[in-house]
C-alpha cells in the first residue's frame, strides 16, 4: 500500500463537539453565568478584564466564542485568549493556539499546540499527531504520530478512534509497538508538566513560556465592548460548539474537553499476572505500556470483564522500566485483530502482536 497524506475518511465534513467550561475566580460573573444571565456575566468580566484579570479575560473570551451574552466573535475571543495567555493563563493559552490553527495561522499556532500537547491536551495531541503523520507542519514521525493520536483517543476524543483505525492500515506493526511505549512516556511527562504548571498557577506564579511575542501582541488588539452593547438573549444551556475540520490537516476546535475521569486504584492487591507465555495461541493484544504498575493494574481491572478478553490471561512484559500490558491466548492474528477492533470501538487503544 502506497503512503499517503492523512485525509481521514469523512474528515472533511466531520466535527468535534466538546463542552467549554467557564473557569475563574471572578465569582460574580461565574454565578451570573451559572444562572443563565449571560449579559450580567459578561458585564462583570469586562470590568475585571479591564483591570488585567487573566481569568476574566479567559471567561470573556469563552463568552465571545460561544456567543453567549454578546454577539459571537471569534476574532475577539482569540484576542482575549491571547491577552490572557500572555499573562500566563494556561487554558487561555491552549484555546489561543487552537483558534490560531483553526484560521490557518499554523506557524504561529504551533508553539501553543506543542505546549498544550505537552500538558496532555487531547485536542492538541490529535493535531500534533496528524502533523507528524503528514510531515507538513512538523517532521514526519509515524511512531510519535501514532502515540499522540492514541493518547487523544484514550482521553475521549472520539475522532481519534477512527483516525487510529486508518493509521493501522499504514503504520507498520513494529512502529505501532514502539508507539505504545512512547505514549506511556508522553503521558507520564504530560501528567508531571500539567501538575507542575497548575500548581504554579494556583500559587499565583506566571507559567514560564517560550511562546514568543505572539500572545503578548494580542493585548494591543483587544477592544472590550461596553456593557450597553453586550447583552443578547440566548438559551441557558452551555451548548457544545463544533468546528469544521480541514481537508488535510484538521482545524482545531477552541473548546475544552470535559475533565478526564480520575482512575481510582483499588486498595486490594491485584491478582498475580501471568508472566509466562500465553496458555494457548501465540498471538496477543497489547493494551498499553506503563511506567507505574498501578496504572497497568487499573486498566486491566477495567478491561478484564470485556467479552473480547474473556478467558484470556494477563501478561506483564517488562521492557526496561516500562511494563507492557498484554492479553494472550489468541490462536491467530485474525483473532487478535478482531479483539482489538472490539476494544477500539469502546475507546481502548489496542494492537495485535506476535508472542
Specify the pTM: 0.60
CA 50 → CA 47, 97, 125, 130, 307, distances in Å? 5, 23, 33, 38, 57
Q: What is the DSSP letter of 50?
A: H
**Confidence (pLDDT) at 201:** 66
Q: What is the DSSP letter of 231?
A: -
**Positions of the chain with pLDDT under 50:** 1-21, 23-25, 206, 208-210, 212-213, 216, 218-278
Are 11-227+239-244 and 283-354 equal in CATH topology? no
**Confidence (pLDDT) at 203:** 63
**Confidence (pLDDT) at 65:** 92
Reported in sequence order, the residue ranges of 8-65 that DSSP labels E, i.e. its strands, are 15-18
The C-alpha cell that represents 197 in the structure block: 504548571
**Confidence (pLDDT) at 311:** 85
State the Cα–Cα distance between residues 342 and 242, nearest whole angstrom: 28
Opening angle at CA 75, ends 72 and 78, nearest 5: 105
- The domain locations on the chain are 11-227+239-244, 283-354
Reported in sequence order, the residue ranges of the chain that DSSP labels E, i.e. its strands, are 15-18, 241-244, 283-290, 314-319, 322-330, 351-354
Assigned superfamily of 283-354: Sporulation related repeat (3.30.70.1070)
Q: What is the pLDDT of residues 296-323, one digit of tens each?
A: 888 898 888 898 898 889 999 887 777 7
Q: Looking at beta carbons, which pairs linking 335-338 to residues 24 or more positions away fall under 8 Å?
A: 335/281, 335/283, 336/283, 336/284, 336/285, 338/308
Fold observed for domain 11-227+239-244:
1.25.40
**Confidence (pLDDT) at 264:** 38
243: phi then psi, degrees, rounded to nearest 5: -130, 135
Amino acid at each position: 500500500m502506497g503512503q499517503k497524506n492523512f485525509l481521514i475518511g469523512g474528515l472533511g465534513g466531520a466535527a468535534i463537539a466538546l463542552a467549554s467550561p467557564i473557569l475563574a475566580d471572578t465569582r460574580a460573573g461565574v454565578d451570573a453565568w451559572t444562572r443563565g444571565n449571560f449579559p450580567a456575566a459578561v458585564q462583570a468580566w469586562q470590568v475585571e478584564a479591564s483591570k488585567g484579570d487573566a481569568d476574566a479575560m479567559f471567561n470573556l473570551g469563552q463568552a465571545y466564542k460561544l456567543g453567549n451574552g454578546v454577539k459571537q466573535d471569534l476574532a475577539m475571543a482569540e484576542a482575549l485568549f491571547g491577552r490572557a495567555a500572555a499573562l500566563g493563563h494556561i487554558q487561555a493559552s491552549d484555546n489561543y493556539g487552537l483558534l490560531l490553527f483553526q484560521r490557518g495561522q499554523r506557524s504561529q499556532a504551533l508553539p501553543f499546540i506543542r505546549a498544550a500537547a505537552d500538558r496532555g491536551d487531547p485536542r492538541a495531541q490529535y493535531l500534533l499527531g496528524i502533523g507528524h503523520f503528514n510531515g507538513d507542519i512538523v517532521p514526519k514521525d509515524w511512531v510519535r504520530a501514532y502515540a499522540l493520536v492514541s493518547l487523544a483517543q484514550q482521553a475521549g476524543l472520539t475522532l481519534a478512534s477512527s483516525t487510529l483505525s486508518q493509521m493501522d492500515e499504514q503504520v507498520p506493526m513494529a512502529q505501532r509497538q514502539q508507539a505504545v511505549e512512547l505514549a506511556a512516556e508522553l503521558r507520564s511527562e504530560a501528567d508531571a508538566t500539567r501538575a507542575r504548571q497548575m500548581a504554579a498557577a494556583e500559587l499565583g506564579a506566571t507559567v514560564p513560556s517560550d511562546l514568543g511575542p505572539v500572545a503578548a501582541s494580542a493585548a494591543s488588539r483587544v477592544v472590550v465592548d461596553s456593557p450597553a452593547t453586550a447583552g443578547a438573549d440566548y438559551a441557558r444551556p452551555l451548548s457544545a460548539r463544533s468546528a469544521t475540520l480541514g481537508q488535510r490537516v484538521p482545524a482545531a476546535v477552541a473548546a475544552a474537553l470535559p475533565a478526564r475521569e480520575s482512575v481510582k486504584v483499588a486498595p486490594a492487591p491485584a491478582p498475580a499476572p501471568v508472566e509466562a507465555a500465553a496458555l494457548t495461541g501465540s498471538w496477543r493484544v497489547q493494551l498499553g505500556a506503563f511506567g507505574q504498575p498501578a496504572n497497568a493494574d487499573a486498566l486491566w481491572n477495567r478491561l478484564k470483564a470485556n467479552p473480547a478478553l474473556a478467558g484470556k490471561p494477563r501478561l506483564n512484559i517488562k521492557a526496561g522500566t516500562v511494563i507492557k500490558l498484554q492479553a494472550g491466548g489468541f490462536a491467530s492474528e485474525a483473532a487478535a485483530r478482531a479483539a482489538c477492533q472490539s476494544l477500539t470501538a469502546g475507546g481502548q487503544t489496542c494492537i495485535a502482536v506476535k508472542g
